[in-house]
């Protein structure tokens, strides 16, 4: 199961490049981090502005900032955000905690629902229920998350009054949190499921034409057994990679759901940091996302090796 | 069939179970609670010193020294009176002796000295104080003295926005700027903050038990923070909140009719201090040419802008820029849409299409290609203005950027035209009457700093150093005449803002600066109990 040295080196190189881009990109964006700190109505002398710049470390040469950036990464110190008035690590962990509460169930439900329904649909592609499900998932897949969020909120919260309009919680009890998260998780799961469904369906459509399926049939296996015992294992490989990538996508993709349901998660944190050019927060968020995506990819590599003997042999 | 029935039943039961999970969530609607819905805008942390958006909401628990009345006058909120030395270098504020923090401690001059020094030392946007304040100290009779380096007659205006903090609490906090609250924050206003939870999206205020002045009828104020104004509008309609508040904003005009149709709401409809405008980069030609600006002023269809951008809730502005509701407003010539006159004027000013390519040339013979720098809030309005200017045969394009980039380009004068807005405080800042937006010695988010004319700067300096009411009146008129004559920017419309509220409340008294979010309003607010709300205060919407 060991990952080859070459692969590890590749991951380390990817980390180095992404971390460096992470430093460079916010700084080449137009705009000034000082702007939003001072607000609309201020009048400061140039000397006072310079003093502030120096306090924020914005006046030091880029190379020095870059070296400090790497030093801080190794010290697990992501700096301080003057916009959020907080150290970046507790700020991100505070937000990530809630985003994970929103994302993990969505990824899990999305993966289970998408793969099973996708497999069934690929197996019997002309059955009416499968056609209906395909159209439903296609509609979800091609709808903007914001739009779907508003529609569900309108029906379930505004019209029927079943769910609250905003926030992760109100009283903070478990049932209260579940009630607040139900609609957002439903939407995120639906999006995740629709992507997994499409991939799984396509994958099963290809696999079912292969010779080992004919052989299994010839052996006299039941249809369900062929699908779930043989085809499923081979068809799920691309979905596993997709689920790994989902970690990164859903972190930022959660933004729209967070905006509709007024949730303070990672999506809004990145968005606000971007608008105010909050370098430490932007760097911190992208760093965490990078680590999660690379970690999830590593995990999916290992999982691929377990499921697929061909991959294992290559490794 | 049976299987479908089973799954449908299962779905309905699960939904009902989940929905009923938070059944105890909805509080039992106590009648003395006011729930205000607002949007998050820039609110990022629960730090009263570090987050100016939160500080604005905290003004009812930690009031600033001064407030603005409904008529636009500046008066003390936690002070009885104040006086200024003849040379405008020493200000003395006398505190109200009947003022107590919500923990029972009396508010003293020490608290004021402490708060102002804290702002000057810690808060980035208050650093201007370091350059003006020489000394701050307390005096007998619960008074605070501010000694200034130079004559300055606008300190009372500046103190409209800095919250008062209790020294006995904040003096012990090691890093005040970074200090965030989640629980009780001691305040001396009629309410104090009892809880801040931005994850749940609310800030709760309780009545200050030690408030000695007129007692508010409302026991508790709940500020519900939404990330999205469409959802906030739905929540308001559903009755989740009682009213809508955003600084410098009206309830979205397109949603008003729908809200009125519910029959549950009354509306406050008032002219507003802020406005949207077309600004010129006066450092570049042809924008620096008054004749060119004059021509443009006649090419804009103001009536159409009001109809399309404000859905009728506004009026045609004057050349004097300032809206009618601005204290010391002076009548100047109204702006007019006269396309033929605009064409005549621009031709007479020398901008002709001599090569017949459909685009006029500037005075050096180059095609007039201009761009309007905007951020995405103003796209619709900018498209209309672009079309008006195209009728003058000017090649106009839009440059849409995010706010931070907009500020950056604007400060570097890398633009031709901008469309932006003023804010109520912005109209009052610097030397009042919107001078803060134009004086080239200033800078800031929405500040154009394009007017370098010594006469204008002298006018600003004069205003900054006098407290004489008659002189100020004269200067106000001069400022408006200056705008009318020189058109450094063109107001696109003067808006009216509309604030809906549940009919069970009455006695609203919004002020010019913060609208309904002010102490006087929350003290005067009454709850109509056990009777029909139908006839309670007026209500209808009237647009032009």
Render pLDDT for B167-194 as a digit per residue (tens, 0 to 9): 999 999 988 888 888 889 999 999 999 9
CB B359 within 8 A of CB B523: no
Mean pLDDT of A192-198: 92
Interface pTM (ipTM) of the complex?
0.82
Q: Which of residues 170-209 of A touch B (CB under 8 A)?
A: 170-172, 175-176, 178-180, 182
Beta-carbon contacts of residue B366 (< 8 Å; ≥ 6 apart):
none
Distance from CA of B158 to the nearest CA of A (A): 10
Please indicate whether, in this complex, the C-beta atoms of B200 and A169 are within 8 angstroms of each other: yes
The pLDDT tens digits for B320-374 are 999 999 999 999 999 999 999 999 999 999 999 999 999 999 999 999 999 999 9
Measured distance CA(B475)–CA(B465) in Å, rounded = 12
Query: Which of A262, A268, A277 would best serve as a mutation to test chain B binding (most B beta carbons within 10 A)?
Result: A262
Please indicate whether, in this complex, the C-beta atoms of B19 and A162 are within 8 angstroms of each other: yes
What pLDDT is stored for residue B254 in this prediction? 94
The pLDDT tens digits for B434-443 are 999 999 988 7
| Closest chain B CA to residue A45 | B128
Q: Are strands B265-280 and B133-139 parallel, antiparallel or unpaired?
A: unpaired
Q: State what percent of residues in chain A have pLDDT above 90.
A: 30
The pLDDT tens digits for A122-152 are 998 888 888 999 999 999 999 888 889 999 9
Mean pLDDT of A44-62: 74
| Structural element, H or E, at residue B75 | strand B74-76
Distance from CA of B355 to the nearest CA of A (A): 37
Distances (CA, A) of A29 to A26, B42, B54, B363: 5, 20, 28, 35
Mean pLDDT of A63-89: 86
Please indicate whether, in this complex, the C-beta atoms of A275 and B402 are within 8 angstroms of each other: yes
Q: Are strands B369-375 and B395-401 parallel, antiparallel or unpaired?
A: parallel
User: Nearest Cα to B428, choosing from B204, B172, B30, B159?
Assistant: B159
Lowest mean pLDDT: which of A255-264, A300-309, B376-385?
A: A300-309
Mean pLDDT of B294-319: 97
For tokens 């499900």, what's the residue? A133
Beta-carbon contacts of residue B232 (< 8 Å; ≥ 6 apart):
B37, B38, B39, B226, B241, B244
Measured distance CA(B292)–CA(B286) in Å, rounded = 7
HSE of B81, CA atoms in CB hemisphere, 13 A: 3
Helix axes B469-486, B454-464, angle to 10 degrees: 160
Query: Which of B22, B158, B178 would best serve as a mutation to test chain A binding (most A beta carbons within 10 A)?
Result: B22
User: Nearest Cα to B327, choosing from B433, B410, B423?
Assistant: B433
Mean pLDDT of B245-269: 95
Measured distance CA(B107)–CA(B142) in Å, rounded = 9
pLDDT at A31 > cutoff 50: yes
CB atoms within 10 A of CB B149: 12
Instruction: Give the phi and the psi of residue A238 in degrees, each rounded to 5.
Output: -65, -30
Residues of B in contact with A50 (CB under 8 A): none
Q: What is the DSSP letter of A228?
A: I
Confidence of residue A44 (pLDDT cuts 50, 70, 90): low
Q: Are strands B191-197 and B202-207 parallel, antiparallel or unpaired?
A: antiparallel
**Joined tokens for residue A207:** 């696999």
What pLDDT is stored for residue B23 in this prediction? 46
What pLDDT is stored for residue A252 in this prediction? 65
User: Nearest Cα to B92, choosing from B112, B71, B64, B120?
Assistant: B112
Beta bridge partners of B17: none
Residues of B in contact with A158 (CB under 8 A): 234, 237-238
Q: Which of residues 118-177 of A touch B (CB under 8 A)?
A: 150, 153-154, 157-158, 161-172, 175-176
The pLDDT tens digits for B131-152 are 899 999 999 989 999 999 999 9
Please indicate whether, in this complex, the C-beta atoms of A48 and B130 are within 8 angstroms of each other: yes
Count of pairs with CB atoms under 8 A, one residue in A, one in B: 177
What pLDDT is stored for residue A69 in this prediction? 87
CB B359 within 8 A of CB B393: yes
CB atoms within 10 A of CB B412: 9
Distance from CA of A24 to the nearest CA of B (A): 17
Measured distance CA(A282)–CA(A278) in Å, rounded = 6
Measured distance CA(A106)–CA(B252) in Å, rounded = 33
Distance from CA of B212 to the nearest CA of A (A): 32
Mean pLDDT of A25-52: 69
Residues of B in contact with A166 (CB under 8 A): 201, 224-227, 231, 235
CB B216 within 8 A of CB A257: no
Confidence of residue A58 (pLDDT cuts 50, 70, 90): confident
Q: What angle do CA B343, B346, B351 make, to 5 degrees?
A: 120
Residues of B in contact with A42 (CB under 8 A): 125, 127-128, 443-444
Residues of B in contact with A171 (CB under 8 A): 22, 24-25
Residues of B in contact with A165 (CB under 8 A): 226, 231, 234-235, 238, 240
Q: What is the DSSP letter of B421?
A: E
Average per-residue pLDDT in chain B?
A: 90
pLDDT at B533 > cutoff 60: no
| Closest chain B CA to residue A263 | B199
Q: Which of B18, B238, B442 sits opposite A158 (nearest CB)?
A: B238
Q: B447: exposed, middle or buried (C-beta count within 10 Å: 0-12, 13-18, 19+)? A: buried
Q: Which of B127, B230, B426 sits opposite A40 (nearest CB)?
A: B426
What pLDDT is stored for residue A24 in this prediction? 87
The pLDDT tens digits for B19-77 are 555 544 444 455 699 999 999 887 888 888 888 889 999 999 999 999 988 888 889 88
Please indicate whether, in this complex, the C-beta atoms of A39 and B128 are within 8 angstroms of each other: no
Please indicate whether, in this complex, the C-beta atoms of A166 and B226 are within 8 angstroms of each other: yes
**Joined tokens for residue B449:** 């700093």
What pLDDT is stored for residue B369 in this prediction? 96
* CB proximity B231 to A under 8 Å: yes
What is the pTM (predicted TM-score) of this model? 0.88
Residues of B in contact with A272 (CB under 8 A): 44
For tokens 């519910």, what's the residue? B262
Query: Which of B199, B202, B233, B414 would best serve as a mutation to test chain A binding (most A beta carbons within 10 A)?
Result: B199
Please indicate whether, in this complex, the C-beta atoms of B25 and A98 are within 8 angstroms of each other: no
Q: State what percent of residues in chain B have pLDDT above 70.
A: 92
Confidence of residue B505 (pLDDT cuts 50, 70, 90): very high
Beta-carbon contacts of residue B507 (< 8 Å; ≥ 6 apart):
B524, B525, B526
* CB proximity B412 to A under 8 Å: no
The pLDDT tens digits for B264-286 are 999 999 999 999 999 999 999 99
Measured distance CA(A16)–CA(A157) in Å, rounded = 46
Query: Which of B128, B201, B431 would best serve as a mutation to test chain A binding (most A beta carbons within 10 A)?
Result: B201
Distance from CA of B344 to the nearest CA of A (A): 38
Distance from CA of B365 to the nearest CA of A (A): 32
Beta-carbon contacts of residue B7 (< 8 Å; ≥ 6 apart):
none
- Distance between terminal CA atoms of chain B? 60
User: Nearest Cα to B319, choosing from B101, B480, B137, B199?
Assistant: B480
What ranges in chain A are assigned the alpha helix state H? Answer: 5-28, 33-38, 46-55, 62-74, 88-123, 128-142, 145-152, 174-207, 211-219, 223-225, 232-260, 266-275, 279-307, 309-314
Confidence of residue B287 (pLDDT cuts 50, 70, 90): very high
- Distance between terminal CA atoms of chain A? 8
The pLDDT tens digits for B201-221 are 999 999 999 999 999 999 999
**Joined tokens for residue B405:** 């980039």
What pLDDT is stored for residue B51 in this prediction? 86
pLDDT at B544 > cutoff 70: no
Beta bridge partners of B374: B400
DSSP symbols for B197-216: ETTTTEEEEEE-TT--SSPP
| Closest chain A CA to residue B440 | A43
Confidence of residue B115 (pLDDT cuts 50, 70, 90): very high
Beta bridge partners of B373: B399, B418
* CB proximity B149 to A under 8 Å: no
Measured distance CA(A51)–CA(A65) in Å, rounded = 17
What pLDDT is stored for residue A132 in this prediction? 92
Lowest mean pLDDT: which of A53-57, A226-230, B308-312?
A: A53-57
CB A45 within 8 A of CB B131: yes
Average per-residue pLDDT in chain A?
A: 85
Query: Which of A85, A96, A102, A157 would best serve as a mutation to test chain B binding (most B beta carbons within 10 A)?
Result: A85
pLDDT at B315 > cutoff 80: yes
Please indicate whether, in this complex, the C-beta atoms of B240 and A37 are within 8 angstroms of each other: no
Residues of B in contact with A43 (CB under 8 A): 128, 430, 436, 441-444
B239-257 CB burial, b ≥16 within 10 A, e <16: ebbbbbbbbbbbbbbebbe
What pLDDT is stored for residue B221 in this prediction? 97
The pLDDT tens digits for B63-105 are 999 998 888 888 988 899 999 999 999 999 999 999 999 999 9
Please indicate whether, in this complex, the C-beta atoms of B22 and A171 are within 8 angstroms of each other: yes
pLDDT at B535 > cutoff 50: no
């Amino acid at each position: 199961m060991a990952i080859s040295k070459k692969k590890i080196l590749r991951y380390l190189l990817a980390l180095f490049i992404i971390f460096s881009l992470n430093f460079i990109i916010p700084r080449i964006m137009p705009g000034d981090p000082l702007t939003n700190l001072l607000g609309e109505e201020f009048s400061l002398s140039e000397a006072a502005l310079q003093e502030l710049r120096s306090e924020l470390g914005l006046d030091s040469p880029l190379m020095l900032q870059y070296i400090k950036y790497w030093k801080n990464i190794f010290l697990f110190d992501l700096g301080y955000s003057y916009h959020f008035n907080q150290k970046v690590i507790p700020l991100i962990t505070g937000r990530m905690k809630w985003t994970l509460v929103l994302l993990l169930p969505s990824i899990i439900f999305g993966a289970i629902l998408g793969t099973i329904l996708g497999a069934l649909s690929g197996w019997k592609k002309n059955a009416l229920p499968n056609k209906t499900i395909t159209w439903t998932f296609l509609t979800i897949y091609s709808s903007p998350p914001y739009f779907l969020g508003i529609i569900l909120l309108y029906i379930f919260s505004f019209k029927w009054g079943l769910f609250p309009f905003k926030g992760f919680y109100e009283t903070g009890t478990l049932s209260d949190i579940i009630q607040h998260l139900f609609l957002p998780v439903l939407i995120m799961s639906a999006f995740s499921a629709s992507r997994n469904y499409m991939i799984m369906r396509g994958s099963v459509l290809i696999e079912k034409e292969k010779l080992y399926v004919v052989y299994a049939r010839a052996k006299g296996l039941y249809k369900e057994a062929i699908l779930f015992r043989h085809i499923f294992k081979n068809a799920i490989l691309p979905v596993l990679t997709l689920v790994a990538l989902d970690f990164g996508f859903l972190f930022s993709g959660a933004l729209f759901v967070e905006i509709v349901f007024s949730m303070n998660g990672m999506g809004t944190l990145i968005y606000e940091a971007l608008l105010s050019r909050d370098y430490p927060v932007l760097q911190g968020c992208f760093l965490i996302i990078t680590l999660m995506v690379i970690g999830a990819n590593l995990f999916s590599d290992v999982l691929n090796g377990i499921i697929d003997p061909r991959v294992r042999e290559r490794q | 069939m049976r299987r479908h029935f089973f799954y449908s039943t299962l779905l309905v039961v699960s939904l009902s179970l989940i929905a009923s999970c938070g059944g105890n969530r909805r509080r039992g609607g106590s009648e003395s609670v006011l729930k205000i819905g607002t949007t998050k805008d820039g609110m990022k942390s629960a730090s009263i010193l570090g987050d100016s958006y939160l500080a604005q909401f905290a003004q009812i628990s930690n009031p600033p020294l001064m407030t603005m009345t409904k008529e636009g006058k500046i008066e003390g909120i936690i002070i009885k009176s104040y006086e200024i030395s003849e040379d405008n270098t020493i200000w003395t504020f006398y505190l109200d002796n009947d003022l107590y923090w919500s923990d029972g401690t009396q508010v003293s001059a020490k608290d004021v000295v402490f708060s102002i020094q804290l702002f000057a030392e810690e808060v980035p946007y208050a650093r201007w104080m370091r350059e003006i304040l020489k000394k701050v100290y307390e005096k007998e009779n619960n008074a605070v003295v501010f000694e200034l380096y130079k004559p300055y007659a606008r300190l009372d205006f500046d103190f409209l926005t800095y919250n008062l903090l209790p020294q006995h609490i904040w003096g012990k906090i090691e890093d005040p700027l970074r200090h965030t609250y989640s629980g009780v924050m001691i305040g001396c206003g009629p309410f104090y903050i009892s809880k801040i939870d931005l994850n749940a999206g609310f800030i709760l205020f309780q009545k200050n038990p030690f408030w000695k002045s007129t007692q508010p009828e409302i026991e508790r104020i709940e500020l519900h923070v939404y990330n999205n104004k469409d959802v906030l509008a739905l929540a308001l309609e559903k009755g989740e909140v009682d009213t809508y508040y955003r600084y410098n904003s009206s309830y979205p005009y397109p949603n008003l009719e729908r809200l009125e149709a519910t029959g549950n709401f009354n509306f406050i409809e008032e002219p507003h201090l802020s406005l949207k405008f077309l600004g010129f980069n006066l450092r570049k030609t042809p924008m620096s040419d008054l004749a060119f600006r004059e021509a443009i002023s006649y090419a804009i269809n103001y009536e159409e802008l009001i109809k399309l951008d404000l859905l009728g809730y506004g009026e045609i502005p004057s050349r004097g820029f300032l809206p009618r509701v601005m204290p010391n407003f002076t009548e100047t010539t109204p702006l007019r849409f006269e396309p033929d006159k605009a064409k005549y004027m621009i031709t007479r000013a020398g901008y002709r299409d001599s090569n017949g390519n459909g685009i006029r040339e500037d005075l050096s013979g180059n095609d007039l290609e201009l761009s309007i720098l905007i951020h995405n809030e103003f796209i619709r309005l900018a498209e209309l203005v672009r079309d008006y200017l195209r009728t003058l045969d000017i090649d106009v394009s839009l440059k849409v950027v995010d706010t931070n980039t907009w500020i950056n380009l604007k400060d570097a004068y890398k633009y031709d035209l901008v469309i932006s807005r003023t804010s109520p405080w912005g109209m009052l800042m610097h030397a009042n009457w919107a001078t803060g937006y134009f004086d080239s010695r200033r800078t800031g988010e929405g500040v154009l700093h394009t007017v370098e004319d010594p006469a204008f700067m002298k006018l600003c300096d004069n205003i900054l150093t006098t407290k004489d009411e008659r002189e100020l009146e004269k200067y106000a008129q001069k400022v408006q005449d200056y705008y009318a004559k020189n058109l450094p920017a063109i107001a696109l419309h003067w808006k009216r803002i509309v604030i809906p509220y549940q009919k069970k409340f009455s006695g609203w008294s919004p002020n010019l600066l913060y609208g309904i979010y002010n102490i006087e309003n929350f003290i005067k607010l009454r709850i109509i109990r056990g009777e029909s709300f139908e006839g309670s205060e007026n209500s209808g919407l009237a647009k032009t």
